[in-house]
Amino acid sequence: EDQVTQSPEALRLQEGESSSLNCSYTVSGLRGLFWYRQDPGKGPEFLFTLYSAGEEKEKERLKATLTKKESFLHITAPKPEDSATYLCAFNTGRRALTFGSGTRLQVQP
């Protein structure tokens, strides 16, 4: 059965303290690994798509990487406005995405 697991469930950082969020998966026929950001009371917002092992994408303080078993979302020198829940998801060719439970990130000033 295809599965995705995100860790940690929650992470508290000080402003400027870099860290990484993990998304590990067991998926047959992966057709993309995706990262979304969700702010409280809002719908998820698309961040990145990764298709093959070794691929990296960057956006401001965020960098997503992909291996054959997991994806990392690296946050460099985070700011309080980076506080949100970060969701990873995968596509196996069905007309749907399967989402992980998310990592709640809190960045304190």
Residues forming the site for another protein (CB under 8 A): 32, 34, 41-46, 49, 87, 89, 91, 95-102
Which one, 7 or 98, has the nearer CB to another protein? 98
Shortest separation between residue 18's beta carbon and another protein, angstroms: 26
User: Which lies closer to another protein via its Cβ, residue 10 or residue 77?
Assistant: 10
Looking from the CA of 56 toward its CB, the CA atoms found within 13 Å total 5
Q: Provide, rounded to whole angstroms, the least separation between the CB of residue 11 and another protein.
A: 17
Instruction: Count CB neighbours of 109 within 10 A.
Output: 7
User: How far, in Å, are 20, 42, 45, 95 from residue 64 at the CA level?
Assistant: 9, 22, 15, 23
Structure tokens belonging to residue 30: 């992966």
Residue closer to another protein (CB basis): 78 or 102: 102
